[in-house]
Structure 1
Amino acid sequence: MQNSNQQTPGMPLSAIPSIVWTLTGCIGLIGSNSLALGPIAPAMAAALGTSVQTVMIASAAFGLGTAGGALALGQLIDRIGPQRMLAITMLLMVFGFAGAGTAIGPEMLIAAQFGLGIAAGVALPAIYTLAAVSGPPGHESRTLGIVLTGWTLSMVGGVPLSALIADTLGWRAFYFILAGAALLAAGTIARRPTTKGVAGGLQTPLSALRVKGVLPLLAVCGCFMASFYGVYAYLGDHLHADLGLPVSANGLATILYGMGFGAAALLDRFLDTHLARPLLLSVLMVLVTAVFSLMFVFSGSFIGLLVLMGVWGLANHLGLNVLIMRLTALDPQQRGAIMGLNSTVTYLALFAGTIGLGEVYAGQGFRPVVLCAVGLMLTGVAISLLAARGSAAVKRDAERRQTATPR
């Protein structure tokens, strides 16, 4: 079945519902909190009388809370409705940001970040669920692509801004600004007409695993995210320790990645046209694999790596877009729970990729880390090909049954 976007190739910005921009801002807030902790950690450690390593435990607590919140509470999105659930979680984030900003010790900071993680674990799948249904028909991928650029906002804007605010107003001011922005987002979402939940809801957080096609796509997500976080976590140290570049070089690499990620939104209309093609996800996973392979070749070239960062961001945006669209299309009645499982896998992959490839990096360096990422992505490609083959077989069987039905 061809996507309707083939008849309507363009979509003016005026046709995009205002809630899409609000969802983009919500992603930016969540990303700014999770990505900005590293740059301002030294200032926070000095103020709290502890070490940078202890402060960074709060980042791990955020990731753990996100995975746990998505797994335990994701099904509430379907029961209560994604819009109402997002408004509630953004309001809870106000208290989390305020708690981080008023922390008098590392324990309070870690607790606040854990609470923020739980809220983010519900907010992210609610955002993706709303994005999948908020855009004009035939432009679902482009709508989701706009929402995904919130990650670019956090990388290119949120991270540098956090350092600037910490230097001028103090690191606590950064969290108070996030709290104010979260309150504004919660109010904006709450004032809109509410989307209804599903009567009865789900029985258990894991019941969405029974939806046909969920498991292989979640496995692809795990390979995709573990390879990304594993390489991204140690690229900066590779640039500094192995190539002898200043720490600021990592900031430039991050900005180029974010620019590539954001620029990919211009290609999302292509995804709308070809989303129904079973092999599209596999092709995009191959593209990411090729980027890692080139990173292995050009690991000693700063210019080569900078160019690849932009391509990597573009490829990751397109791959993430198609992956989310495929997951949300599996069962419209359980979108929230499925997106909750996606967030759970994503943050477990963050933990596993960072820890597992960290051992490889410590013992053998950056190039073996990239090879491991290539292996993970090839596994993801194989799984996506098997899933595409199964999906095509199901579609052919359905078409044969429809043809055989007496009229």
Structure 2
Amino acid sequence: MSNSDQSAILTAASRAPIPAAAYLLTGCIAVIGSNSLVLGPIAPAVAASFAASVPAVMTAAAAFGLGTSASASNSNAPRRMLQGALLLLALALVGSALAPTVAALVAAQLVAGIAAGVAMPAIYASSAAIAPPGRESGTIGVVLTGWTLSMVAGVSLSAVLADLIHWRAVFAAVAVLAATAVAGLSVSSLRDTRKSGPAPSPLGALAVPGILPLLIACGAFMTAFYGVYGYLGDHLHEGLGEPVSANGLAAIAYGLGFGAAALLDGVIDCLGARRVMPFAYLLVAAVYVAIASASGTFGLLMATIAVWGLANHFGLNVLVMRLTALDAARRGTIMGLNSAVTYFAVTVGTAGFGPLYTALGFANCALVAALLMLVAASAAAWRSARQ
């Protein structure tokens, strides 16, 4: 085949449309993301309602992460598993909205985490499976914009709902979105890709060459994010004296930055995820240092949070690309492990950063996150040097 023929094939692949099913998966990510991200901004209102501390309320976020990491799995029928998981999530969100105590909220979020642990591997594996050749980064990038939707629409509106109505209305609204996603899946063209034999265990994917450094990078990356994000809302409210609804502005800033980065996803396809990944994580580390420096000024902090969203988009995109490319036959299993590590990091981040936030303040939490990103960058570089 001549070079011109190869160039023509690559050009045609780069113009292939993103499958419609990718946008449905985007909505599923948005629903799960709304629940996993919503508690931080409304935590001050929840704490006041229960006469509890913000770190005590954030225990519910830690329980969500624990449930997700414990239940992350692979399935031979991802569409059916995704439907069932989102239905369970909707019921758990109703339980969260009706929770009479902090302990009941923690229990409901634990169930929500179990549902998310089943759903996330199916979403990521499906997004990679339906991507046209040459459009892997673009397809995964579209699905990842579900996190933008959850930040810009879900989290920002939740802060307003908490101020105008009640924090319980937030969980009720997300429950409705989860039920809507279940209905959308029931009429969608997304189909299960069945394989013979039982679905392999996620732990079996640990034998895939190169996966351990990527999981270390994932754990450090996600622990840093949730450790800082979990206490951003309280810092804005208590540290800077802003109303709870102002937390919605932070979500919008982050979401817009995260979404804008999707326009640059082609750079990853051109340069390669392995080459981009260490530099993406070094960029995130620099952003955390900037967040620490800007933590005392609301306007400057908002601008820095927008850059945080942009940098994190690249970090998440290259991570998903590299994990799904390790072994196509065990893609779902690998993403099950990724979900387990990611949401174990939710638990470590929210629970571990709580005492740091109480004792040292928000700026120092951001500096600790920067150190974690150096660990992530080192792990990413170690893998790319050996692949």
Instruction: State yes or no: 1:86 paired with 2:86.
Output: no
Say whether the 8 Å CA contact 2:40–2:231 is kept in structure 1: no
Q: Kindly provide the CA deviation profile for residues 181-211 of structure 1, in whole angstroms up to 9, marking residues without a partner as x.
A: 3233223324435222332235533111111
Offset, 1:326? 0.4
Change (3 A) 1:165 1:245: closer
Task: Specify the code of the residue in structure 2 equivalent to 1:336.
Answer: G
Change (3 A) 1:30 1:52: farther
Say whether the 8 Å CA contact 1:64–1:347 is kept in structure 2: yes
1: distance between equivalents of 2:297 and 2:22? 39
Q: Kindly provide the CA deviation profile for residues 32-82 of structure 1, in whole angstroms up to 9, marking residues without a partner as x.
A: 2233335556776788x7746565543332222111111xxx13x2xx232
Offset, 1:11? 4.6
Instruction: State yes or no: 1:234 paired with 2:231.
Output: yes
Partner of 1:151: 147
Greater CA drift, 97-106 or 31-40: 97-106
Q: Kindly provide the CA deviation profile for residues 347-377 of structure 1, in whole angstroms up to 9, marking residues without a partner as x.
A: 2222223333333333333443333222211
Offset, 1:248? 4.9
Instruction: State yes or no: 1:207 paired with 2:211.
Output: no
2: distance between equivalents of 1:113 and 1:150? 20
Give the match's secondary structure for 1:206. Answer: helix
Offset, 1:387? 0.6
Greater CA drift, 233-242 or 218-227: 233-242
Partner of 2:309: 313
Q: 1:110 aligns with which of 106, 112, 123?
A: 106
Offset, 1:314? 0.4
Instruction: State yes or no: 1:7 paired with 2:4.
Output: no
Change (3 A) 1:52 1:33: farther
Q: 1:131 aligns with which of 127, 133, 139?
A: 127
2: distance between equivalents of 1:218 and 1:297? 29
Change (3 A) 1:3 1:307: farther
1: distance between equivalents of 2:108 and 2:213? 34
2: distance between equivalents of 1:285 and 1:371? 14
Identical aligned pairs, as a percentage? Answer: 50
2: distance between equivalents of 1:229 and 1:251? 17
Task: Specify the code of the residue in structure 2 equivalent to 1:86.
Answer: L
Offset, 1:316? 0.3
Matches within 5 A, 1:5-404: 7-8=11-12, 11=15, 15-38=17-40, 51=52, 56-70=58-72, 74-75=73-74, 77=75, 80-103=76-99, 107-165=103-161, 174-191=170-187, 192=189, 194-240=191-237, 243=240, 247-275=244-272, 278-391=274-387
2: distance between equivalents of 1:172 and 1:239? 21
Give the match's secondary structure for 1:157. Answer: helix
Q: Kindly provide the CA deviation profile for residues 243-290 of structure 1, in whole angstroms up to 9, marking residues without a partner as x.
A: 5555555432332111101111111122222225x3211121121122
2: distance between equivalents of 1:273 and 1:374? 27
1: distance between equivalents of 2:292 and 2:58? 29
2: distance between equivalents of 1:172 and 1:307? 30
2: distance between equivalents of 1:4 and 1:184? 41
Partner of 1:402: none
Change (3 A) 1:172 1:229: closer
TM-score (norm 1): 0.82
Q: How many residues align?
A: 380
Give the match's secondary structure for 1:217. Answer: helix
Task: Specify the code of the residue in structure 1 equivalent to 2:68.
Answer: T
Q: Kindly provide the CA deviation profile for residues 222-250 of structure 1, in whole angstroms up to 9, marking residues without a partner as x.
A: 11112222222334444455555555554
Offset, 1:6? 5.5
Offset, 1:146? 1.3
Say whether the 8 Å CA contact 2:324–2:334 is kept in structure 1: yes
Q: Kindly provide the CA deviation profile for residues 86-120 of structure 1, in whole angstroms up to 9, marking residues without a partner as x.
A: 12212322332333345555555433322111010
1: distance between equivalents of 2:44 and 2:382? 47
Change (3 A) 1:7 1:153: same
Task: Specify the code of the residue in structure 2 equivalent to 1:204.
Answer: S
TM-score (norm 2): 0.86
Say whether the 8 Å CA contact 1:5–1:272 is kept in structure 2: no
